[in-house]
């Protein structure tokens, strides 16, 4: 069954901590991204981890292999459950990230490669020179990520079923761009509902504003959990 990680996209540590407290028991983990990390740093991540929920550290590392490997090592003391790198960084960078993560032994995070951001559609990609569009780009980057030793990828709900069919059950699929029918799409373009993404084979559903912007975040998370029941 797919696990929901709530995306806490905020620069306010106290606000994030209060929200995490409300969500304890209602979600499977917390996703902390660039906004949070830039404002709150490793100390903020450690405080959020102390609440007891697994942490998905979504920093989308992308640099030369040596730099990314050192960045991964610097993050390992925080014991994230999931860590992201950009799959477009290439085979050597991805291998360096995967090998550095393994140094944490039993506490090693799952390293997943971000393929195509869910804010991009085929028109955006073609404008950037990716003529094959989203589906072909995701497939190519997924192959590179798997060959480099990553645990899985981040892909949109629209590519999830194809990725699961092609790569099997042992390839970890993290799926953002999840919007329940009762929530606005916002700036996400390649979206689907939680139930549809779970049925397609997602391991982790990343859901932010439908939970965090709700009047009652815990109730919104519970509503999503109900939708995921078989």
Q: Are 55 and 29 in contact (CB under 8 A)?
A: yes
Buried b (16+ CB within 10 A) or exposed e, 150-159: bbbbbbbbbb
CA proximity to 180, closest of 168, 166, 191, 169: 191
Do β-strands 152-154 and 204-207 pair in parallel, antiparallel, or remain unpaired? unpaired
Residue 52 backbone zone (phi > 0: left; psi -120 to 50: alpha; other: beta) = left
Half-sphere exposure of 179 (CA within 13 A, CB side): 16
Active site residue 70: no
Ranges of H-type helices in 56-190:
65-75, 91-102, 122-127, 133-147, 157-167
CA 63 from chain centre, in angstroms, equals 19
Catalytic residue from among 22, 31, 60, 102: 60
Q: Are 198 and 211 in contact (CB under 8 A)?
A: no
CA angle in degrees (0–180, nearest 5) for 99-102-103: 100
Q: Are 64 and 88 in contact (CB under 8 A)?
A: no
Q: Are 26 and 222 in contact (CB under 8 A)?
A: yes
Residues annotated as catalytic are: 60
């Amino acid at each position: 069954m797919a696990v929901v990680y709530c995306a806490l996209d905020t620069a306010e540590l106290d606000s994030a901590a209060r929200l995490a407290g409300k969500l304890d028991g209602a979600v499977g983990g917390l996703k902390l991204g660039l906004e949070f990390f830039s404002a709150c740093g490793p100390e903020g991540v450690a405080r959020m981890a102390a609440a007891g929920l697994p942490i998905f550290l979504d920093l989308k590392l992308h640099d030369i292999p040596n730099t990314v490997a050192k960045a991964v090592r610097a993050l390992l003391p925080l014991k994230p459950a999931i860590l992201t790198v950009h799959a477009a960084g290439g085979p050597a960078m991805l291998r360096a990230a995967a090998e550095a993560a393994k140094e944490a032994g039993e506490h090693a995070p799952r390293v997943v490669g971000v393929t195509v951001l869910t804010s991009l559609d085929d028109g955006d990609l073609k404008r950037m020179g990716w003529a094959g569009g989203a589906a072909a780009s995701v497939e190519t980057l997924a192959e590179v990520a798997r060959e480099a030793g990553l645990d899985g990828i981040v892909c949109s709900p629209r590519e999830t079923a194809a990725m699961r069919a092609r790569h099997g059950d042992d390839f970890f699929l993290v799926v953002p761009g999840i919007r329940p029918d009762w929530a606005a799409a916002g700036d996400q373009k390649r979206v689907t509902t939680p139930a549809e993404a779970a049925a397609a084979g997602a391991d982790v559903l990343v859901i932010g504003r439908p939970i965090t912007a709700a009047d009652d975040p815990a109730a919104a998370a519970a509503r999503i959990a109900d939708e995921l029941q078989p």
